[in-house]
Structure 1
Amino acid sequence: MGASQLSPDMDARAREFESVFLQRLVSVGQKTVADAIGVSESTVSRWKEGEIERWCKVIAHLGLQLVPDSAVLVNAEYLRSLETLAELGLKAEKKRPGPLGWD
C-alpha cells in the first residue's frame, strides 16, 4: 500500500473517522453488522486489516463526515448566523437597565 496522499488535516480526520467507525463496530457487534448486510463475520473482521482505514480516507478526501445518528449537523453559515444572533442578544442583555424596584 502506498503512502497517504491526504493533507495532514484530512489524514487526521480519516483517523478520527476510523476510530468512530471501529468504536461503533464494537458497540453494535461484528456479527450483527455481518448479518445485516449478508456477509460473514470473518469478512467484517478482515475489513479491520486496512479496508476501513482506506474507506475512511475516501470519506475524508470527498469532504464528507462520519457521524452517529444522534448528531445534529448544520452548515457553517447557519451556525455563524446563530452565533451572531446570540452575541447580539448578549450585548443587548448587558445594556438592559436593572430592576425598577417596584417588582
Structure 2
Amino acid sequence: MSADKLSSEQASRAREFEALFLTRLLSVGQKNLATSVDLSESAISNWKKEGIIERFCKALAVLDLQMVPQSAIVTNADYLRSLETLAELGLKAEKKRPGPLGWD
C-alpha cells in the first residue's frame, strides 16, 4: 500500500464509517454536537465541507480500528469462529442422537 492510497477493503470500511458518522450526526443534530464539544455549528458544518470527517474515517480504517454504535457488541473474530465451530459440532451430535426413550 502506498502512503497515500487505501486498499479497497480500507476504502470500503472508511465509507461505512463515514456513513455511520453522518447518520448519527443527522440523528443528534449539528447544533447538539457543536454545543457538546464546545464548537460552533458552522465548525461542524465545515468538517463535512472540508472533508475532515472523510479523512478521519480513512485514518480509522488504516489504523485498523472500528466505529460502531454504542449498542453494538464487539468481540474477537477468533472467539466468534470458535463458538461457531462448537455450535456446529453440537448440532451434528444432536442429529446423531437416537430418538426419545420410553421414559423421556
TM-score by length of structure 1 reads 0.92
What displacement does 1:97 show? 1.1
| Matched position secondary structure for 2:12 | helix
Cα displacement string for residues 41-65 of structure 1 (whole angstroms, at most 9, x for unaligned residues)? 1111111121100000000000000
Structure 1: tracts of 5 or more residues without a match: none
Residue number in structure 1 paired with 2:21: 21
SS of residue paired to 2:31: helix
Structure 1 equivalent of residue 36 of structure 2:
36
Question: For residue 98 of structure 1, what is the aligned residue in structure 2?
Answer: 99
**Structure 1 residue 100 displacement after superposition:** 2.2
Overall identity of the aligned pairs, in % = 66
Alpha-carbon distance, 1:98 to partner: 1.1
Q: Distance in 2 between matches of 1:101 and 1:83?
A: 33
Query: C-alpha separation between the residues in 2 aligned to 1:95 and 1:58?
Result: 50
Deviation at 1:101, TM superposition (A): 4.0
Cα distance in 1 for partners of 2:15, 2:6 equals 11
Q: Mapping of 1:18-97 within 5 angstroms?
A: 18-49=18-49, 50-97=51-98
SS in 2 for 1:73: coil
| 1:15-74 Cα distance to aligned partner (Å, 9 max, x none) | 110000000000111111101100001111111121100000000000000100000000
CA distance in 2: counterparts of 1:92 and 1:43, whole angstroms: 60
Query: For 1:48, what is the secondary structure of its paired residue?
Result: helix
Matches of 1:56 and 1:78, distance apart in 2: 26
In the TM superposition, structure 1's runs of 4+ consecutive aligned residues that sit over 6 Å from their partners are: none
In structure 2, list runs of 5 or more residues that go unmatched: none
RMSD, matched Cα: 1.1
